[in-house]
């Protein structure tokens, strides 16, 4: 290597260390208990009090911006060649923070109240659609507006688009390949454009789903005589970012083995731009989302790389897609060359695609009987949509023959001569109905290994009755015919990176994926599920449970029945590169704190890590107030990073400290569990790479959900750019709770003892666990772990 190459490698190494393991000065003690509240509802400790004002009314200036129509995306609709960064400066560069702020006071949740006038003011700062926000939603949104009032850039979206509405037709809670399968289907179905964002892109089986789909999309576009515009943005630490945080990646760089995006000649009908973005030193671009045709968006927890993680993705449709599109433009910052074709086609004008498809409705009806109960208003909406679907289907030219039911525009059997990739045939959404015309109810006698339930109630429901009562309160989104019935006739082939099988809509995807975890002639349900969880990383890793009980079947894809659009707000945080803790006051952080502060019944938190000092204090306050807090955390996740000086501590240390800090009464309301895989009976250390969890979710009072990219750790709280949505829907939150129960056995086997330590029935702790006191020189382990992470052997 030349001197310049050696120098670049050295700089890159240290930059990536900062990217992955920032040095944060937390006030959380390294060992021993957290300082318990002096009394129930005592004032929590805050890192950045100087940013808070005493007034809580939304200022006139912010109110005007939120209720207006100006936005970065609207300005680019007028001039698509304008750089989004310049558009932002033009719109908001002269904004002066008001002396009045929506920031919450430093008082506790019982002392602090929000007046009806303040809530009304917050309600006016959003376009909520037909379903109006609840009081709980508005309280949280009110607090999330506070940081925006003081720093308009904190929103990471134009203020007029921060509060919106929409629907979630699909949730995925599963391993990485299942999320990549859906993303690949969305890419293949794109008509104009794809904007894909991820924190880390690694040449892998996961990335091959995307690259295969890009080739397929290009071939389909060529057949139509069209071109597709595609933008990819990721964060791979580079010395170039010291001089230009947003830099356009050259073909030579993204064609290399580390990334391996298709060559231009492989995707001749796609105009591709790739950006590498990081704000030095610690401002990681931790975002993971995709926007397709400005009609569909997905927001997920996973990076594009192979690992053993359980992950979560939601699909968003309706006006909220305009908010994500606007945020994506702001994140890109530079002029888009070429511009995205949908610059003048807002999602708000495009309707809700998935709910307009008859196939989506049919998943929830069996023999004319609706599987899930809905309100009269929803039933009327459903009937109207189905009638429209029938009219659309009857007027559509279908190709007769063996592919009846496939739209002509979707079935593209031949490829144009200018492309080098052979098209895969579009799979028929009703393929499963054609091949399995008769589906009989689940029969324990006829199905190999069909579960009949466990006799031992302690084993079935665990040692924490409150947790398991909560997990079983959620309503199932999937009808029983999809969950429990075995495949009949010709089985659907699995959509693989080496053998793509694209579906034309969500219903086809659900049928295909659910069949892969269902029993068949060769595998029991447990064996099929274990094989699915092992995927690319852990071939033949054995399950440890006896069988999957009826009612606990793994449901990777969770479609949601039709409903009216509900309130959805973006609660993000901007990137912050300076190595200090001064940027804690952000919409994301305030939303999380407010969820705990205003909850009346319970708060569910699932995160790979939990050690950010502000949320720990609010968890203690909530428990002392009598609110049940369910914390599902992954043991040993990123221990190497958390052991670095002042990084916050490992999950084991924090669990122990939380339990020590609560009063006996408060302790009854903390339900701390370490993650247990869907086919396991005990937690497995994340370092083993067998069964880990990377889901990032908070559910408040079973009604408000906050989902997205942010972890409950120091990096996500103080430095990384994060994108999250907060939605109000009892139906969707109920479906999430049910899906979370099915995708893991954490509620049954993961509960820690009263000292915060997990032990099995014989008193043994998790194998390989560091423990609650890793010792004086644990930071040496952190440095060694940092080196492994930079070499690609760690987690983020």
Encode 614-678 in three state secondary structure.
HHHHHHHHHHHCCCEEEEEECCCCCHHHHCCCCCCCCHHHHHHHHHHHCCHHHHCCEEEEECCEC
Nearest one of 266, 278, 274, 269 to 241, comparing CA atoms: 278
8 Å CB contact between 157 and 591: no
With respect to residue 282, please indicate whether it lies within any of the assigned structural domains: yes
With respect to residue 120, please indicate whether it lies within any of the assigned structural domains: no
Q: Exposure string (b/e) for 393-404, b if CB count within 10 Å is 16 or more?
A: eeeeeeeeeebe
Q: What is the CA radius of gyration of the chain?
A: 25
8 Å CB contact between 603 and 700: yes
With respect to residue 715, please indicate whether it lies within any of the assigned structural domains: no
What is the predicted pLDDT for the residue at 19? 44
- C-alpha torsion 557→560→565→569, nearest 10: -40
- Rounded Cα distance, 401 and 581, in Å: 64
- Tell me the backbone φ, ψ of residue 469, rounded to 5 degrees: -65, -40
pTM to 2 decimal places = 0.85
Ranges 70-84, 370-384, 556-570: which has the least confidence: 370-384
Q: pLDDT tens for residues 313-339? A: 999 999 999 999 999 999 999 999 999
- Structural domains counted in the chain: 1
- Rounded Cα distance, 158 and 70, in Å: 8
- Rounded Cα distance, 429 and 155, in Å: 39
Cis peptide leading into residue 132 (ω within 30°): no
**Which residue has better confidence, 114 or 424?**
114
Percentage, residues of the chain above pLDDT 90? 68
What is the predicted pLDDT for the residue at 790? 42
Mean pLDDT, residues 295-302: 98
With respect to residue 272, please indicate whether it lies within any of the assigned structural domains: yes
With respect to residue 213, please indicate whether it lies within any of the assigned structural domains: yes
With respect to residue 233, please indicate whether it lies within any of the assigned structural domains: yes
CATH number at residue 331: 3.30.870.10
- Tell me the backbone φ, ψ of residue 332, rounded to 5 degrees: -65, -40
Mean pLDDT, residues 144-168: 97
Q: How far is CA 501 from CA 245, 426, 434, 521, in A?
A: 38, 7, 17, 22
8 Å CB contact between 704 and 145: no
Cis peptide leading into residue 449 (ω within 30°): no
3-state secondary structure string across 93-141: CCCCCCCCCCCCCCCCCCCCCCCHHHHHHHHCCCCCCCCCCCHHHHHHH
With respect to residue 307, please indicate whether it lies within any of the assigned structural domains: yes
Q: How far is CA 239 from CA 9, 31, 246, 275, 456, in A?
A: 9, 36, 12, 14, 58
With respect to residue 12, please indicate whether it lies within any of the assigned structural domains: no
For residue 334, what are the domain limits?
165-348
Reduce the DSSP state of residue 366 to 3 states and report it: strand
User: Is 191 exposed, middle or buried (CB count within 10 Å of its CB: 0-12, 13-18, 19+)?
Assistant: middle
Q: pLDDT tens for residues 753-794? A: 999 999 999 999 999 998 887 766 555 555 555 544 444 444
Q: pLDDT tens for residues 598-655? A: 999 999 999 999 999 999 999 999 999 999 999 999 999 998 877 676 578 899 999 9
Q: How far is CA 46 from CA 111, 155, 589, 618, in A?
A: 16, 20, 12, 10
The CB-side HSE value for 403 (13 A sphere, CA atoms) comes to 17
What is the predicted pLDDT for the residue at 718? 95
What is the predicted pLDDT for the residue at 67? 98
Q: pLDDT tens for residues 358-397? A: 999 888 875 333 333 223 333 344 344 343 333 333 322 2
Nearest one of 605, 779, 538, 570 to 126, comparing CA atoms: 570
8 Å CB contact between 652 and 769: yes
């Amino acid at each position: 290597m030349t001197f310049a190459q050696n120098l670049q490698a050295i700089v890159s190494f240290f930059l990536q260390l900062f990217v992955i393991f920032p040095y944060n000065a937390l006030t959380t003690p390294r060992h021993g208990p957290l300082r318990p509240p002096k009394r129930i509802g005592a004032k929590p400790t805050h890192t950045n009090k100087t940013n808070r004002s005493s007034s809580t009314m939304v200022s006139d200036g912010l109110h005007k911006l939120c209720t207006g129509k100006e936005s970065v995306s609207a300005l680019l609709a007028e001039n698509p060649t304008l750089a989004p960064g310049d558009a932002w400066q033009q719109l908001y560069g002269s904004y002066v923070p008001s002396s009045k702020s929506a920031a919450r006071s430093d008082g506790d949740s019982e002392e602090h109240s929000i007046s009806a006038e303040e809530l009304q003011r917050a309600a006016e700062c959003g376009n909520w659609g037909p379903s109006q926000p609840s009081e709980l939603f508005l309280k949280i949104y009110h607090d999330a507006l506070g940081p925006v009032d003081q720093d308009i850039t904190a929103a990471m979206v134009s203020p007029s688009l921060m509060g919106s509405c929409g629907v979630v037709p699909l949730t995925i809670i599963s391993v990485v390949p299942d999320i990549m399968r859906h993303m690949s289907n969305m890419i293949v179905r794109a008509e104009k454009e794809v904007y894909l964002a991820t924190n880390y892109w690694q040449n892998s089986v996961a990335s091959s789903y995307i690259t295969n789909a890009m080739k397929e999309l290009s071939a389909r576009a060529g057949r139509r005589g069209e071109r597709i515009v595609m933008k990819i943005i990721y964060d791979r630490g580079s010395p170039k970012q010291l001089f230009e945080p947003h830099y356009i990646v050259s073909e030579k760089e993204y064609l290399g083995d580390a990334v391996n995006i298709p060559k231009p000649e492989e995707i001749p009908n796609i105009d591709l731009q790739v950006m590498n973005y990081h704000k030095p030193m610690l401002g990681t671009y931790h975002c993971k989302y995709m926007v397709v045709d400005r009609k569909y968006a997905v927001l997920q927890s996973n990076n594009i790389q192979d690992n053993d993680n359980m992950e979560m993705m939601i699909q968003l449709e309706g006006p909220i897609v305009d908010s994500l599109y606007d945020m994506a433009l702001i994140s890109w910052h530079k002029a888009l060359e070429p511009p995205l074709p949908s610059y003048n086609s807002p999602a708000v004008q495009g309707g809700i695609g998935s709910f307009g498809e008859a196939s989506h409705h049919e998943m929830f009806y069996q023999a004319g009987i609706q599987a899930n109960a809905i309100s009269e208003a929803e039933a009327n909406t459903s009937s109207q949509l189905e009638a429209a679907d029938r009219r659309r289907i009857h007027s559509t030219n279908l190709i007769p023959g063996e592919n009846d039911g496939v739209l002509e525009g979707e079935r593209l059997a031949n490829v144009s001569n200018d492309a080098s990739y052979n098209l895969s045939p579009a799979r028929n959404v009703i393929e499963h109905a054609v091949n399995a015309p008769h589906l009989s109810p689940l029969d324990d006698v006829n199905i190999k290994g069909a579960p009949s339930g466990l006799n031992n109630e302690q084993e079935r429901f665990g040692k924490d009755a409150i947790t398991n009562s909560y997990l079983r309160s959620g309503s199932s989104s999937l009808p029983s015919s999809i969950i429990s019935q075995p495949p009949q006739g010709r089985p659907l082939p699995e959509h693989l990176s080496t053998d793509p099988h694209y579906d034309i809509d969500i219903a086809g995807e659900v049928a295909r994926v659910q069949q892969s975890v269902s029993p068949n002639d060769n595998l029991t349900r447990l064996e099929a599920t274990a094989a699915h969880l092992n995927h690319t990383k852990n071939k033949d890793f054995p399950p440890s449970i006896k069988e999957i009980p009826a009612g606990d079947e793994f449901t990777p894809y969770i479609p949601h029945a039709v409903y009216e659009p509900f309130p959805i707000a973006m609660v993000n945080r901007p990137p912050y590169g300076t190595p200090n803790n001064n940027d804690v006051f952000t919409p994301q952080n305030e939303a999380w704190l407010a969820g705990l502060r205003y909850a009346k019944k319970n708060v569910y938190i699932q995160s790979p890590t939990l050690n950010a000092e502000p949320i720990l204090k609010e968890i203690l306050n909530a428990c002392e107030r009598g609110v049940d807090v369910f914390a599902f955390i992954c043991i040993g996740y990123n221990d190497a990073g958390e052991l670095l000086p002042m990084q916050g501590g490992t999950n084991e240390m924090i669990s122990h400290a939380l339990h020590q800090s609560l009063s006996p009464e408060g302790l009854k309301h903390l339900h701390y569990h370490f993650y247990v895989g869907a086919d396991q009976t005990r937690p497995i250390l994340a370092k083993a790479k067998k069964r880990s969890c990377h889901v990032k979710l908070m559910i408040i009072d079973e009604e408000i959900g906050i989902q997205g990219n942010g972890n409950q750790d120091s990096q996500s709280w103080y430095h990384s750019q994060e994108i999250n949505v907060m939605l109000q829907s009892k139906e969707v939150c109920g479906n999430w709770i049910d899906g979370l129960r099915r995708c893991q056995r954490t509620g049954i086997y993961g509960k820690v003892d009263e000292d915060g330590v997990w032990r099995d029935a014989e008193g043994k702790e998790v194998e390989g666990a560091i423990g609650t006191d890793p010792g004086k020189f644990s930071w040496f382990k952190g440095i060694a772990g940092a080196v492994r992470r930079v070499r690609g052997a760690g987690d983020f």
